[in-house]
Amino acid sequence: MEINGEKIALKKGSFKGGVHPEEWKYLTEDKAFEILPKPKEIILPLTQHLGRQAKPVVKKKDKVKIGQLVAESDGFISAPIHSPVCGTIKDITNTSSAYGIPQKSIIITAEEGEENQFLEPLDPSTMSSEEIIERVKQAGIVGMGGAAFPTYVKLTPPQDKKIDMLIINACECEPYLTRDYRILMEYPEGFLQGVKLLMKALKVEKGIIGIEDNKIKAAELIGKYLKNEKSLKIALLKTKYPQGAEKMLIYATTRRQVPPGKLPLDVGVVVQNVGTAFSVYQAVVEGKPQIEAYLTVSGLGIENPKNLIVKIGTPIKDILDYCGGIKDDAVKIIVGGPMMGTPIYDLKTPIMKATSGIVVLSKDEVVEKNIQNCVRCGKCIEICPLNLLPTKLARLVQFKRYEEALKSGIMNCMECGTCCYNCPSNVPIVHWIRIGKTRIKQLKLS
């Protein structure tokens, strides 16, 4: 493989196991981002991120402008939220959310006007590490990889952890999703500036952009910009799910293994997503807080699959309508990708900061399989990227043997769904594991 005259070999020996579901990326990969018109109503759940709920700083009937702070960070692991529109606060109440359970949310009635109250644009070349981190914090940036972990927390590792490398996750291993790919194709300069800002914030000299080999075009494009770059390199990785899982990506690019219960920073690495890097660029150079989500709307159940730039808080219904509505044979609407995303039942569910896509699956895409008894074929064990015993964990939870499940490493499971995808008996393994993890936390066994 040659990228810009430089030979880039496919990284050999990726992680063990994994699967390769049908990609379906062709539905949207060549479609440029479109901007979704402003919705009438914005719903902002106060938990847009992993950690403490944000604290509202507005009250009913307050007027807000674009980019104005509406909820502030509450504690170390938390993130502020900004209004994506001009409008009036209608209410602060519980609404449906993509978490599946109601969340306290700020509801804003959108009004005419494009007045904004952005942060002050800064010059990236003169900024210090602390200034970048402060800006990331102010702008409410969260990780776009799925977990929505507040980004500034990742940028401030404890003193005793020596970080020597930033890895950018451009794998986008979930089927259907093309959001990261489109950002790379359309905003390569902004993205790379964001990456450099992140490297500066972490004070690291080395950066790796890990990208799957089904996104050659993006790798080539980014490669052009990196021609004379010594510190930043592209690693071309084998296309397989879950290549974009943090531990798998770190292993594939650096051969470092994150031990069970440890974090990437324990092996000197911080992983950030493509979307996150781009948000950092926007926050610094444009002064724009995280008020938009770049996402893919795809699946055979939607009339016109698209890549969209959407204001956070937009109800899913507005997005589906913009994409021509859903087809008669659509059976599932998923927020996120089909492997790890959450199905929703209420079309008023709002888009959040880290929403990477909406996938509407038709009947044909959801393979109907009976749930049969586990036949101990061992396929789940063969393909579990973390080397767990999925079938055993599921069975232990089924029989309420939580302590044994804990000893067998149930808490390590990242719920990637690889085992379920391939289970010939269609045992809902991940579902049982989720139940087990929840029970173990409730019983405080761990």
Residues 389-408 that bind other proteins (CB under 8 A): 389, 391-392, 408
Q: What is the smallest separation between the CB atom of 265 and other proteins, expressed in angstroms?
A: 14
- Measuring CA to CA, which residue among 434, 424, 337 is closest to residue 380? 424
| 167-186 binders of other proteins (CB under 8 A) | 175
Q: Are 139 and 289 in contact (CB under 8 A)?
A: yes
Q: Between 83 and 391, name the residue whose CB sits nearer to other proteins.
A: 391
Question: How would you class 443 by CB atoms within 10 Å of its CB: exposed for 0-12, middle for 13-18, buried for 19 or more?
Answer: exposed
List the one residue from 230, 345, 442, 444 that touches other proteins (CB under 8 A): 345
- Measuring CA to CA, which residue among 99, 118, 97, 204 is closest to residue 157? 204
Q: Are 170 and 274 in contact (CB under 8 A)?
A: yes
| Locus of tokens 């049908």 | 22
- Cis check for the bond before 242: say yes or no (omega within 30 of 0): yes
List the one residue from 259, 400, 403, 443 that touches other proteins (CB under 8 A): 259
| 2-21 binders of other proteins (CB under 8 A) | 15-16, 19, 21
For position 102 contacting other proteins by CB under 8 A, the verdict is no
For position 438 contacting other proteins by CB under 8 A, the verdict is no
For position 409 contacting other proteins by CB under 8 A, the verdict is yes
List the one residue from 79, 209, 283, 333 that touches other proteins (CB under 8 A): 333
Six token digits for residue 3: 């990228």
CA distance 254 to 118: 38
Q: What is the smallest separation between the CB atom of 212 and other proteins, expressed in angstroms?
A: 18
For position 280 contacting other proteins by CB under 8 A, the verdict is no
Beta partners for 133? Answer: none
Distance of CA 179 to the CA centre of its chain: 10
Q: What is the smallest separation between the CB atom of 417 and other proteins, expressed in angstroms?
A: 3
Pairing verdict, β 330-335 and 41-45: unpaired
Distances (CA, A) of 139 to 67, 228, 401: 9, 31, 44
List the one residue from 148, 300, 344, 354 that touches other proteins (CB under 8 A): 344
Q: What is the smallest separation between the CB atom of 425 and other proteins, expressed in angstroms?
A: 5
Size of the site for other proteins (CB under 8 A): 76
Q: Stretches 69-77, 111-119, 163-171, 412-420: which one binds other proteins (CB under 8 A)?
A: 412-420
For position 326 contacting other proteins by CB under 8 A, the verdict is yes
List the one residue from 126, 159, 228, 373 that touches other proteins (CB under 8 A): 373
List the one residue from 11, 325, 401, 445 that touches other proteins (CB under 8 A): 325
Site string for other proteins, 194-233 (x = CB under 8 A): ----------------------------------------
E strands in 284-414: 292-298, 306-311, 330-335, 342-343, 357-362
For position 386 contacting other proteins by CB under 8 A, the verdict is yes
For position 74 contacting other proteins by CB under 8 A, the verdict is no
List the one residue from 190, 287, 289, 341 that touches other proteins (CB under 8 A): 341
51: how many CB neighbours lie within 10 A of its CB? Answer: 18
Q: Are 53 and 47 in contact (CB under 8 A)?
A: yes
For position 343 contacting other proteins by CB under 8 A, the verdict is yes
Six token digits for residue 58: 């507005």
Pairing verdict, β 103-110 and 41-45: antiparallel
Site string for other proteins, 16-45 (x = CB under 8 A): x--x-xx-----------------------
